[in-house]
Structure 1
Amino acid sequence: MSKSIFLLIFSLLACSAVVEEKPKDYSAIHQEAKSYCQLNGFNQEFYFLLDFSVHSGKNRFYVIDFKSLQVLHQNLVTHGSCDVFEENPEKYKKAKFSNANSSHCSSKGKYKIGKRDYSSWGINVKYWLHGMENTNTNAEKRVVVLHSWDAVSNEEIYPRYAPLSWGCPAVSDKFMKTLDKKLQVAKKPVLLWIVE
């Protein structure tokens, strides 16, 4: 085998190797979420953590068990296009945030998951989100809700991107059924926290 063919094969193998990413350490976030839920009378069994620093084609919606601090469920979730008031050429790659009405942006921070209601999207179920911080106080006015959308895959699609929303965290129909079951039996409000 010639040296050039050997180098070509070696290069191809090196490029195709899967690079393992080190798991993120969410321990400080989990502890803050647990304290927040205790202080504010929220559900203390589990909460929802959405990490918008993760590529939208990868799982970044996590259902966290407070007792074990383990991920019970995970799946894809959309972020807002955020392109109404200014151009956003990186909108698929990186979430931008705004609390402004009609911005179509995601809003980070803690939310109380509210009333279950009818949605014209997905499995026809939505949950109202009540912003608990100054970064997301307009959630209700903006109708930023948790809902499903049949355009969202139920499996990771990386390196492709999830579709964009108008600011709602939208999930797959199948994942929404999982979330809906948990939310319907929760005796106290559940925390949904969007971080980056």
Structure 2
Amino acid sequence: MFRLTLLFCTILLACGNASEPKETVIATKDYSQKHNEALAYCKANGFSTEYYFLVDLNVHSGRNRFFVYDFTQKKITAQNLVTHGACDAFEQNSSMYEKVKFSNRVDSHCSSSGKYKVGSRDYSSWGINVKYWLEGLEESNNNVRDRVIVLHSWEAVQDTEIYPNYSPLSWGCPAVSNNFMRTLDTKLKATKKPVLLWIVE
């Protein structure tokens, strides 16, 4: 009888937590090749060699996929959730939540992959009212200025992982949580050289 009761309670607990966020999972993918390539790019192009931002849109949007990598410490020092572009597919349970599509076309509202220069700090009507203009450095993202794709925060983005749920969709901007944006803003204001942001697919 005790075993049956214990089993029943275990099932109830599991079912009751089915939609609850699971605990944070530290990045387990091997990004060493990306880090090495990023450092070489930064050295060759006058970017900061202190750190860079890596955004892996292959990762589920309910998982951390915006990484701050410290070149000196050779490790990820901060990570959080980040949105991807909706491509105008906002309906509930849209496949856009699961599989990111990319476009560099103006008004596509999609994400654009490639390397970016994090540009000037400016006012934003979103989140903590801070945004950073992005300059696309490759053919895959050289229209981002015309598309007004910027790094900003948004109250709808959570501070912790929400998997198996998804983060909200954006109009192509990599939007992060307000608290994480404060962390990024502090770092960016203290960095003298341009910072690299690399969105990979």
> Relative to 1, partners in 2 of residues 1:184 and 1:21: Cα closer, same or farther, differing over 3 Å?
closer
Whole-angstrom distance in 1 between the partners of 2:174 and 2:41: 21
Whole-angstrom distance in 1 between the partners of 2:42 and 2:153: 25
| Map of 1:36 onto structure 2 | 41
Whole-angstrom distance in 2 between the partners of 1:185 and 1:22: 26
Shift of 1:89: 3.5
Q: Secondary structure at the match of 2:103?
A: coil
Whole-angstrom distance in 2 between the partners of 1:27 and 1:165: 29
| Map of 2:162 onto structure 1 | 157
| Map of 1:111 onto structure 2 | 116
The answer to whether the 8 Å contact 2:132/2:152 transfers is yes
Whole-angstrom distance in 1 between the partners of 2:27 and 2:53: 21
| Map of 2:86 onto structure 1 | 81
| Map of 1:46 onto structure 2 | 51
- Find runs of 4+ consecutive structure 1 residues off by over 2 angstroms: none
| Map of 2:142 onto structure 1 | 137
- TM alignment of 1:1-196, pairs within 5 A: 23-83=28-88, 89-196=94-201
The amino acid of 1:68's aligned partner reads: Q
Q: Secondary structure at the match of 2:97?
A: coil
* Seq. identity, %: 63
Whole-angstrom distance in 1 between the partners of 2:190 and 2:27: 34
The amino acid of 2:169's aligned partner reads: L
Shift of 1:22: 8.4
RMSD (Å), alpha carbons: 2.6
TM-score after normalising by structure 1: 0.88
Whole-angstrom distance in 2 between the partners of 1:188 and 1:55: 31
Whole-angstrom distance in 2 between the partners of 1:55 and 1:159: 8
Whole-angstrom distance in 2 between the partners of 1:96 and 1:28: 24
> Relative to 1, partners in 2 of residues 1:146 and 1:22: Cα closer, same or farther, differing over 3 Å?
closer
Q: Secondary structure at the match of 1:153?
A: coil
Shift of 1:83: 2.9
Unaligned runs of 5+ in 1: none
Shift of 1:42: 0.2
The one-character-per-residue Cα deviations of 1:35-69 (angstroms, maximum 9, x if unpaired) are: 00000000000000000000001100000001222
Q: Secondary structure at the match of 2:199?
A: strand
Shift of 1:111: 0.1
Q: Secondary structure at the match of 1:91?
A: helix
Shift of 1:138: 0.4
Unaligned runs of 5+ in 2: none
Q: Secondary structure at the match of 2:53?
A: strand
